[in-house]
Homo-oligomer: A and B are copies of this chain.
């Protein structure tokens, strides 16, 4: 972790004590107390012009998003966040960019009590690049491969149209994942980053089963409806295909599914069931094949 300047000074100045942080920024590595559960590790890199447009959204919201997308990956496995490290390449010549970016990162991390334990701050002639690595713990991590035919499928929130703002302002479903994990046996789970149809397809591939979604049951975000005014798609198509909702989609047994409908520990929507084979959407009793193409990173 060489080349630090401002970030490390700011991190050192953080006041909230954290019992897990044995050694914080200032040595060559951070050190955390071990714990008893498996470590979870995830990393995501965001680049100006690809994952955000810095000139439009500003560095604070980029910081929020860079932190949140990583915490969302921990949520997808029902992990408790333990800490993060942050690497950045800052475009030269903007004195306040690093500070505002850091404040966004800290705001999101603080809202989950997660310490930023280290980083690597660089400047260069290129556009802003930020890479966050988050680590957490889960005694029983929830994977993608445990869904079974007959399982019920749920999502934690309305979907589609996140490009209008939600992709920058979402709340990673850490708390929801932990509550669900306490309440029911989560057979498989993923966070929706590439789009419902694409990410659910990852679960189906890993679990070697199929699914039927009920079009009328899929919760559609207001933004998805707004977006139809400027797109050639229906609200449902936006809900199925748009990326970066960062809600969770998960599979549970029918018994657990009924329990969730009866006494929901957090807001959930039942959207379909797992079947032995195929990938289908049912609309007014008509079943047609569903294509697992979600949002694709602009290339």
Residues of A within 8 A of B (CB): 1-3, 22-23, 26-45, 47, 49-50, 69, 73-74, 76-77, 79, 83, 85-89, 92, 117-120, 122-127, 129, 131, 133, 135-138, 141, 143-144, 190-191, 193-194, 206, 297, 299
Q: Are the CB atoms of B124 and A89 closer together than 8 Å?
A: no
List residues of chain B with CB within 8 A of the CB of A32: 38-39, 41
Q: Knowing that A2-B194, A28-B42, A120-B131 are A-B contacts, what are 8 other residue pairs whose CB atoms are under 8 Å apart, sorted by A's residue number?
A: A27-B206, A28-B77, A33-B39, A42-B118, A44-B87, A45-B88, A49-B125, A126-B127
> Closest CB of chain B to A117's CB: distance in Å?
6
Q: Are the CB atoms of A2 and B44 closer together than 8 Å?
A: yes
Cα–Cα distance between A198 and B275 once the two chains are bound (Å): 63
Of A32, A76, A133, A135, chain B has the most CB atoms within 10 Å of the CB of A133
List residues of chain B with CB within 8 A of the CB of A38: 22-23, 31-34
Partner of A85, one of B3, B43, B89, B138: B43
Cα–Cα distance between A44 and B141 once the two chains are bound (Å): 28
Q: Are the CB atoms of B119 and A27 closer together than 8 Å?
A: no
List residues of chain B with CB within 8 A of the CB of A122: 45, 47, 50, 297
A45 with B89, Cβ < 8 A, contacts A29-B76, A77-B29 known: yes
Query: Which residue in chain B gives the minimum CB-CB distance to A189?
Result: B28
Q: Are the CB atoms of B40 and A30 closer together than 8 Å?
A: yes
Cα–Cα distance between A83 and B277 once the two chains are bound (Å): 37
A44 with B193, Cβ < 8 A, contacts A26-B144, A87-B131 known: no
As for how many copies of this chain the complex holds, the number is 2
Some 30 contacts from A to B, beta carbons below 8 A apart, are: A1-B43, A1-B44, A2-B193, A3-B44, A27-B206, A28-B42, A28-B76, A28-B77, A28-B144, A28-B190, A29-B41, A29-B136, A31-B141, A32-B39, A34-B34, A34-B36, A34-B39, A34-B137, A41-B83, A41-B117, A41-B133, A42-B85, A43-B131, A45-B89, A47-B124, A47-B129, A49-B125, A120-B131, A133-B133, A135-B135
Partner of A30, one of B27, B30, B41, B118: B41
Q: Are the CB atoms of A45 and B136 closer together than 8 Å?
A: no
Q: Are the CB atoms of A39 and B41 closer together than 8 Å?
A: no
Query: Which residue in chain B gives the minimum CB-CB distance to A30?
Result: B41
> Closest CB of chain B to A195's CB: distance in Å?
11
Q: Are the CB atoms of A206 and B26 closer together than 8 Å?
A: yes
Cα–Cα distance between A295 and B159 once the two chains are bound (Å): 50
> Closest CB of chain B to A71's CB: distance in Å?
11
Query: Which residue in chain B gives the minimum CB-CB distance to A88?
Result: B45
Partner of A118, one of B29, B43, B88, B136: B43
Q: Are the CB atoms of A34 and B31 closer together than 8 Å?
A: no
> Closest CB of chain B to A78's CB: distance in Å?
10
Partner of A41, one of B33, B131, B135: B135
